[in-house]
Structure 1
Amino acid sequence: YDIQFPYNFASVFATCSKHDIRIWSVRTLNELLRITVSNMVCSCIVFTYDGKAILSGWNDGFIRCFTPQSGKLKYIIPNAHNRGVTALAISRDGTKLLSGGGEGQVRIWKLTKESQTLDLVLKEHTNSVSVIQIKSDDKEAMSASIDGTCVIWDIIRGQRLTIIILPSMIMSAAYHPSEVQLITCSTNKLVDYWETIDGSHIRSLEGSEVAAVNCLDFVEDGKCFVTGGADQIVKVIYLMYFRLKIQWSYF
């Protein structure tokens, strides 16, 4: 259900699905570590920026933090959401954790070495939160939901800055590296490009001919982005021209 690389470290990556989290070697594609929570489903994962912890969201509404080297449990945030934890993002300084839930809330947690406490609750979405990203200044964040909304938040004051509304479920979204634009993908098979300052629409691209586009992200220089769809095709697309560069099919 999720895949994540540690920040600025491309030798390993983590995946989560069903009842476990797995750490993999990029070079050998061998499994290095498996973290299992019996009878639970892990929906989302995120590494801290220092790489010393991996946070995970589960269908029982708990957030569990593990060490990626040993898999040892560091702490648990119980009852973080009442319909499961569906999205996570952490600030660069490691003091703020944003979580999204199946009920549509975005919650901001204050993290210290001793405790994890709820700081703010952001209520705008009416259905499951599909993705959260925090800007590099740790002052603003973006969340998107399958209710068709994408919201830019001031996470210091807990206020909505901008809202984007689509007529279909938003499956994922990502900031451009410049953080002045973002892209969304949805069940209407489109990839849409937006200004973050006011939510104005820039352009659209058909991300798939036959199925929903489920996930996307930018490459580091921002010149291209990558999409993955329910049609089992991975595409690399030029941002400037909104034109296909290359694709791989897995069926």
Structure 2
Amino acid sequence: MTGNELAALRHAHELFGGAAEVASLDTSAARYEDLLARAVAMNNGGGRALYREAVARSRDDLRAAAAVDAEVDATAREAHRDHANAHALTKGVLDAARADSAVPDNAIAQREAIRRRVARLRAQHAHVVAARRKSRRHRSRWRATRYRMPHRGVHGLRLPAPNTRAGIAVRAALSRLGRPYVWGATGPDQFDCSGLTQWSYARAGIHLDRTTYQQIYDGVPVPRSQVRPGDLVFPTAGHVQLAIGNNLVVEAPEPGATVRISPLGAGVQIRRPLG
């Protein structure tokens, strides 16, 4: 071995250091399906059939999201295994070089030592190339992963700057699309209407009161003609939405539904949080 060889082999090995254990991703939708089933059982009103249809649609969305979660989890675990394998393979080559400490004392031994050095460098290079190829494949799979959400009609949507309070709140709310409505829930995986707006603004460091009946007095009133992303929108005194631009809102609408994007209504009250 030589100092240059060891440096090259060590550098290749260090490319695959520091891999932490992959956190387990809960890919089961059973918990939320149970919540939806209980919500149906509690609704004995005249709209029960429509309610059941809404719950069935939400259940399909949850199952589709769970399937995507499972795909992401499988890709992450495969990537971790490939990383660990590359770490072990490059370490084996490096250890072999360190163990090859004999000083050749004749021409034949010198040629053999050179042959071993070349073989180790080629092997290390092959391990790095193979690992990069696998990494590109994993990256392509992740980029192709999509959650199928029922409300995609937001082309041309211009969100506020991400360093503003309103921008942070809007992005936080949109990150919860597809999460189930549960009365009294305040996040991060299930919400009622005011729980969603309160949780979203909390990400931006702004406190909103807990209930819709309190939030309707938070901030300052704004006419509908001046609504902008981040404003609180009240179609009724008992429901709150968050404006996101393009005459759209994000909301946690009702039991049996999920967080979604909806049109901005006509007869609404609007409040702009301060902070």
TM-score, length-normalised on structure 1? 0.23
Normalized per residue, which structure has more strand?
1
TM-score, length-normalised on structure 2? 0.22
Normalized per residue, which structure has more helix?
2
Q: Which has the larger radius of gyration?
A: 2
Higher relative contact order by CA 8 Å / sep ≥ 6: 1 or 2?
A: 2
